[in-house]
Amino acid sequence: MRLLLESKADMNAVNEPGMTPLMLSSVEGHSDVVKLLLEREAEVNAATHDGWTALMFACEKGHCDIVRILLEGRAQVNVSDENGYNALMLARENGYWDIVRMLKRWTLFELKMIG
């Protein structure tokens, strides 16, 4: 991955379903690659053709460390896919309670920063 980035490969390129390298790394649990991509300004809120983001993939898979990294990279929590699911719903549906708590705390933190 580092070689691709050093060769100035497009880190926001998408595959057939519209997944970026950041999304694929989030699904597979590669936190070091997620960090590297965000440092290189990968689009944290890019969405697939059906509206899934890297944060949603990480929440569905239970990758707590990646969820934290994405949130720190300014991932939007309340984005919904074409079926109305968001990251919080996916974490809750799959029983990842640590992620559910993290997302709720993050949302409260963001609200305090705005207000």
Distance from first CA to last CA of the chain, Å, rounded?
A: 40
CA dihedral 64, 33, 78, 110 (to 10 degrees): 80
Would you kindly state where each structural domain of the chain is located, as residue ranges? 2-114
Cα–Cα distance measured from residue 99 to residue 14, given in angstroms and rounded to the nearest whole number = 27
Q: What is the DSSP letter of 12?
A: T
Question: For domain 2-114, which architecture applies?
Answer: Alpha Horseshoe (1.25)
Tell me: the pLDDT tens digits for 58-85? 999 999 999 999 999 999 999 999 999 9
Q: Is 98 exposed, middle or buried (0-12, 13-18, 19+ CB in 10 A)?
A: exposed
pLDDT at 115: 53
| Average pLDDT over every residue of 50-60 | 97
pTM for this model (two decimals): 0.88
